[in-house]
Amino acid sequence: MDLNANIEVRDREGMTLLQTAAWNGHEKVVILLPKRGAQVEARDREGWTSLHHASWNGHATVVQMLLQKGADVNAKNNESNTPLYHATWNGHLEVVKLLLQGNADVNERCTDGETTLQQAAWRGHIEVATVLIEAGADLNIRSRSGRTALHDAATNGQQDMVDLLLRAGADSSLMTEDGQTAFEAAKENSYYDVARYLESQGGVVQSEGTQEEGEPDGMNERRTGLGVDPAITALLNLDSSLCTMQGHGDACSSEPFKITAMVDGEKRFYFTKICKIGEMFEGEYASLKALHNAVPSICPLNIGHGKLVNSDDYFLLTEFLDVNARTNDPASGLSFAQKLAALHKKPAPIPEGSSRPISWADFYATNRLHAILGLIEESHGADEELRDWIEKDRFNYCTKTTSRWLLGLGGKGGLEEVAFDASCCYAHSEYELGLMRMFGGFSAGFFSEYHRLVPKTGTCE
């Protein structure tokens, strides 16, 4: 800098040196740069200021420094998120307190009309939510879709947060634009313990036509309050009396559950799926084991699979991975969102003997369609018509149509006949993100961090 270096130089994300220092918590640099003329209110391509960056990562000392230098405590980025919104997202209690002391608007809304309290409710940040409520957060502000903080807590299964909001005076009778109450939101997302708690507190207000036929008290008894099958507790070497499980995510070909076990006075969590087809889990077990060996920091440890003792069903058991956790992995220093973004941005390797990366279409043709064709011709003799069908018109049509149809990007309404093999999906990484809905889903905070690293793909015509 003594050689007149440009202190307002920016990286490809539009971040200045001061913003980079604030993001990383480099306090001495944050002290120095403004003295040399760095602009505290400079914004990157997404409209983030240095205060946004420091607040997001919980650098309390840097936040205090920036506020003392006159940083706008209510500055909004391109999505209308304030520094307080960012600190709340990630549960940075001390930063939240500093921003509120600096006159941050506790009821400011983002583009979707959500407030900081709604984000705290979604993520289950009890201490942060308590501070926000004490600072005057409106409990019943509704987003553009009509959701309140109570809706968000119930939707994401945050029972302690639901309790806090109800005790503070949240109105459980409020409905979204679609006519859904918090009770119904909990029930829809399989958080039946939360739904029962709302019911016990007088929070059951159902919109018309929502009670499902044959549904006991509006809740599926199979999904909550379950004991853990002896086959699973034996595999874990746990006392079955100290284990419970409840539904976690949406059921599809199998039912997903979260297991909670008490081990040496502390809670431990596991994830299991249950279905009626044991062969399905045999293949999935082998795949997950290979994935974990390749990327152990992303793929949970695969514990085992087998037949249940108390039913004819089968199970697959893994570690429980909190996909919404903001705490960085102590080994890599990266959050899960950062790890997944790095994986999705990594170029495909070039296979041995090839001069270019293999595309998913080529992989599908070689390893799926042609492999099946080989088995058919081995058993029944050559079939020129089938071979021509695979190698020419139908293969191109199938891969293009399947990828467009799965992503909801194609056509002008209506589906055409298409050959589709669900076991070999040719799709975008964002399709993979959507599949996580089956396993509990990602939070808004995860997506914000992920899409800062992997920009959203635009819609296609």
**Which of these CATH numbers, 1.10.150.120, 2.40.50.100, 3.30.1370.140, 1.25.40.20, describes 17-220?**
1.25.40.20
**56 vs 414, which has greater pLDDT?**
56
Using CA atoms, how far apart are residues 60 and 62, in angstroms rounded to an integer? 5
pLDDT at 41: 94
Q: If residue 127 lies in a helix (H) or strand (E), which one and from where to where?
A: helix 126-134
Q: How far apart are CA 162 and CA 146, in angstroms?
A: 17
In the predicted model, is pLDDT for residue 247 greater than 70?
yes
Question: Is the pLDDT reported for residue 127 higher than 60?
Answer: yes
Q: What is the pLDDT of residues 324-364, one digit of tens each?
A: 554 555 555 677 777 788 777 776 666 676 666 666 566 66
Bigger pLDDT: 37 vs 452: 37
Q: Topology of domain 225-320, per CATH?
A: Phosphorylase Kinase; domain 1 (3.30.200)
**What is the model's pLDDT at position 209?**
47
pLDDT tier, 204 (very low <50, low <70, confident <90, very high otherwise): low
The pLDDT of residue 246 is 80
Q: If we measure between CA atoms, which residue out of 403, 237, 258 comes closest to residue 320? A: 258
The arithmetic mean of pLDDT across residues 4-33, rounded, is 87
Mean pLDDT of the chain: 79
- Alpha-carbon distance of 398 to 82, in angstroms, equals 45
Range of lowest pLDDT (5-9, 157-161, 405-409): 405-409
pLDDT score recorded for residue 418: 40
Considering the chain, what percentage of its residues have pLDDT values greater than 90?
Answer: 36
pLDDT tens-digit readout, 285-326: 888 888 788 777 777 888 999 999 999 999 999 988 765 554
Contacts of 3-11 with CB under 8 Å at 24 or more apart are 7/33, 7/36, 7/37, 7/38, 8/38, 8/39, 8/42, 10/44
Determine the length of the chain: 461
Q: Give me the pLDDT at residue 342, please.
A: 77
Amino acid 417: pLDDT: 39
Tell me which of 388 and 316 has the higher pLDDT.
316
Domain ranges in the chain are 17-220, 225-320, 360-427
**How many helices (DSSP H) and strands (DSSP E) are in the chain?**
21, 5
422: pLDDT confidence band, cut at 50, 70 and 90?
very low
Q: Helix 60-68 to helix 27-35 angle, to the nearest 10 degrees?
A: 20
Contacts of 70 (CB under 8 A, 6+ apart): 40
Q: Are strands 302-307 and 314-319 parallel, antiparallel or unpaired?
A: antiparallel
Closest among 119, 198, 181, 116 to 146, alpha carbons compared: 181
| Per-position DSSP letters for 151-188, written without gaps between them | HHHHHTT-HHHHHHHHHHT--TT---TTS--HHHHHHH
Give the residues across from 259 on adjacent strands: 245, 270
DSSP structural state of residue 262 = E
Average pLDDT over residues 410-422: 39
- Quote the CA–CA distance of 341 and 376 in Å, as a whole number: 40
Q: What pLDDT was estimated at residue 448?
A: 67
Q: Helix, strand, or coil here: 269?
A: strand
Return the bridge partners of 266, or none: 263
Cα–Cα dist 106/128, whole Å: 12
* Neighbouring residues of 114: CB distance < 8 A, sequence distance ≥ 6: 143, 147
| Stated pTM of the model | 0.58
Eight-class DSSP state of 130: H
